[in-house]
Chains A and B, each alone.
Chain A
């Protein structure tokens, strides 16, 4: 495979060692330097944003502005009594949080942080992202059943039904991008969203996919809504709805097991937002500037840093929107949830696919930006 990945570049820099050792090292690096810190930090940001929106102060004791709160929380959770409720299924109780974290962390391997900084630019990139996050649903379902608590079981069944049904609009809203870029490889998809002034045709930079044609803009919003539902975030937090189900599928989990669930949820939110950014909002691309094609040549390290901050900036903005929605929208009912999915999102997503295909055929794969530029140049 002719793709950039951590393991190969690490082996290249150091020069020795079998590839599988470096693969192991890079996997650990992705989990411990990216997935877990983000998951932990997001719990702090969420509370701070909630506090701001409700005119409170929020966590402000540990470190400046309470920024080290999540580390204190992790220590607290690790120090708690390892409590296993009576009558629960011990094996599944221990297995379930691990499955959920596994699914959320595996997806980080295929996120395009920058052109050269990428766990692995797989041929089936976007397909890998979808498939690794499917591990979360069985994890939640088994965990909820293992605790022998009826609220947990109700929450788990809701979670599984919701995730399975919203996978369909999510997958259907990814298809327009695959139609446009003609590949499943995420690195290539992001590269095609760059901008070069003399660009023509489908196989050159055509600006961000969200603005490729009207249908893709709708598809991006559908993907975001579907992602919200898949990560069980408000307004789709029926699996956890504290006013009906205590705390839903994680009611009986305490200590670090509960911590793992929370961590996996936030890691999953990050993956979902990163997916929207990579597919529709140009990934690490700057708007209208091609870093490798400037009047001065920048060092590749600087380019990587700019691209990384671009990608993280866009992703964190979407994460902020997710948290913002949490304090803005009320929760849906179960029938409204299913109605929205099957009567709203799925037909719209199908229209988007047909519309994008028609656009590709009529305008020979050119985006709105390319057409406007052409008209202006004439």
Chain B
């Protein structure tokens, strides 16, 4: 990788981490969600660097175009939410938040450990070669052969969610 490309990756990392810190610490929930948008964009750039172009596109479509819009919608349609100062949250909610946060750390640690071990084991030439291959067809074939059961299970879950949404939104008689 040339120095210029490394610089872009570095900027993307700063964008992601900085926005993530803002998401966690900014008192205004609207600003936090805008920061979340930029964190998602930064992650998409990192996916491109990892050679996962399809995942990068999906990241932008699903998270920037879908999830962020829904969050913004919810904030703007709820009158008190965007005036809420997150620092005013009472202390008794803070304890469960802390417990969950601490509980996630070992899981994250394990995932990172295994991933780095996997990458260190793989020969570097393989990684170089793999990162420039078109991945879309590989993903499609994997989804419809090896992973067809989880794939179908997810479609049923999504169908259930759709039916549930329609049921919730229908006019009451």
Q: Which residues of A contact B (CB under 8 A)?
A: 1, 18-21, 91-92, 95, 122-124, 127-128, 130-132, 134-135, 137-138, 141-142, 145, 153, 156-157, 160-161, 164, 167, 184
Determine whether the beta carbon of A184 is less than 8 Å from that of B4: no
Partner of B5, one of A20, A123, A134: A20
Partner of B57, one of A91, A92, A127, A157: A127
User: A107 vs B48: C-alpha distance in the bound complex, in angstroms?
Assistant: 16
Please name all residues of chain A whose beta carbon is closer than 8 Å to the beta carbon of B7 when the two chains form the complex: 20
Please name all residues of chain B whose beta carbon is closer than 8 Å to the beta carbon of A124 when the two chains form the complex: 53-54, 56-57, 136
Please name all residues of chain A whose beta carbon is closer than 8 Å to the beta carbon of B142 when the two chains form the complex: none
Please name all residues of chain B whose beta carbon is closer than 8 Å to the beta carbon of A184 when the two chains form the complex: 136
* Residue on A nearest B73 in the bound complex, by CB: A160
Q: Contacts A95-B34, A123-B136, A142-B72 known; A19 to B61 CB distance under 8 Å?
A: no
Say if the beta carbon of B69 comes within 8 Å of chain A: yes
Q: How far is the CB of B127 from chain A (nearest CB, A)?
A: 16
Determine whether the beta carbon of A19 is less than 8 Å from that of B4: yes
Determine whether the beta carbon of A134 is less than 8 Å from that of B60: yes
Please name all residues of chain A whose beta carbon is closer than 8 Å to the beta carbon of B18 when the two chains form the complex: none
Q: Contacts A21-B4, A157-B76 known; A132 to B60 CB distance under 8 Å?
A: yes
Please name all residues of chain B whose beta carbon is closer than 8 Å to the beta carbon of A123 when the two chains form the complex: 53-54, 134-136
User: A131 vs B64: C-alpha distance in the bound complex, in angstroms?
Assistant: 9
Determine whether the beta carbon of A138 is less than 8 Å from that of B37: yes
Say if the beta carbon of B160 comes within 8 Å of chain A: no
Determine whether the beta carbon of A131 is less than 8 Å from that of B69: no
| Residue with the greatest number of chain B CB neighbours at <10 A, chosen from A20, A21, A124, A157 | A124
Q: How far is the CB of B47 from chain A (nearest CB, A)?
A: 11
Say if the beta carbon of B66 comes within 8 Å of chain A: yes
Residues B1-26 near A (CB distance < 8 A)? 2-5, 7-8
Determine whether the beta carbon of A160 is less than 8 Å from that of B72: yes
Q: How far is the CB of B56 from chain A (nearest CB, A)?
A: 8
Say if the beta carbon of B65 comes within 8 Å of chain A: yes
Please name all residues of chain B whose beta carbon is closer than 8 Å to the beta carbon of A127 when the two chains form the complex: 54, 57-58, 61, 136
Please name all residues of chain B whose beta carbon is closer than 8 Å to the beta carbon of A134 when the two chains form the complex: 60-61, 64-65
Determine whether the beta carbon of A138 is less than 8 Å from that of B68: yes
Q: How far is the CB of A109 from chain B (nearest CB, A)?
A: 13
User: A20 vs B72: C-alpha distance in the bound complex, in angstroms?
Assistant: 35
Q: How far is the CB of B51 from chain A (nearest CB, A)?
A: 10
Please name all residues of chain A whose beta carbon is closer than 8 Å to the beta carbon of B30 when the two chains form the complex: 92, 145
Q: How far is the CB of A124 from chain B (nearest CB, A)?
A: 5
Please name all residues of chain B whose beta carbon is closer than 8 Å to the beta carbon of A20 when the two chains form the complex: 2, 4-5, 7-8
The binding surface of chain B is classed by DSSP as helix
Partner of B66, one of A122, A142, A164: A164
Determine whether the beta carbon of B57 is less than 8 Å from that of A128: yes
Partner of B61, one of A122, A130, A138: A130
Q: A141-B69, A145-B30, A145-B76 are in contact. List 13 more A-B contacts (CB 8 A).
A: A18-B2, A95-B34, A123-B53, A123-B54, A123-B136, A124-B136, A127-B136, A131-B60, A137-B65, A138-B68, A157-B73, A157-B76, A160-B69
User: A123 vs B11: C-alpha distance in the bound complex, in angstroms?
Assistant: 24
Determine whether the beta carbon of A131 is less than 8 Å from that of B61: yes
Q: Contacts A19-B4, A20-B5, A131-B57 known; A137 to B136 CB distance under 8 Å?
A: no
Residues B24-73 near A (CB distance < 8 A)? 30-31, 34, 37, 53-54, 56-58, 60-61, 64-66, 68-69, 72-73
User: A157 vs B76: C-alpha distance in the bound complex, in angstroms?
Assistant: 9
* Residue on A nearest B54 in the bound complex, by CB: A124
Please name all residues of chain B whose beta carbon is closer than 8 Å to the beta carbon of A95 when the two chains form the complex: 34
* Residue on B nearest A21 in the bound complex, by CB: B4
Among all A-B residue pairs, the 7 with the closest Cβ atoms: A134-B65, A20-B4, A131-B60, A127-B57, A123-B134, A131-B57, A131-B61
Q: How far is the CB of A192 from chain B (nearest CB, A)?
A: 16
User: A20 vs B136: C-alpha distance in the bound complex, in angstroms?
Assistant: 25
Please name all residues of chain B whose beta carbon is closer than 8 Å to the beta carbon of A130 when the two chains form the complex: 57, 61
Please name all residues of chain B whose beta carbon is closer than 8 Å to the beta carbon of A157 when the two chains form the complex: 73, 76-77
Please name all residues of chain B whose beta carbon is closer than 8 Å to the beta carbon of A128 when the two chains form the complex: 57
* Mask of B122-153 contacts with A, CB within 8 angstroms, 1/0: 00000000001011100000000000000000
Determine whether the beta carbon of B2 is less than 8 Å from that of A142: no
Please name all residues of chain B whose beta carbon is closer than 8 Å to the beta carbon of A132 when the two chains form the complex: 60
User: A340 vs B103: C-alpha distance in the bound complex, in angstroms?
Assistant: 47
User: A130 vs B37: C-alpha distance in the bound complex, in angstroms?
Assistant: 17
Please name all residues of chain A whose beta carbon is closer than 8 Å to the beta carbon of B132 when the two chains form the complex: 1
Determine whether the beta carbon of A153 is less than 8 Å from that of B5: no
The 9 sampled A-B contact pairs (Cβ below 8 Å) are: A20-B4, A124-B56, A134-B65, A135-B64, A138-B72, A141-B69, A141-B76, A161-B73, A164-B65
User: A145 vs B30: C-alpha distance in the bound complex, in angstroms?
Assistant: 10
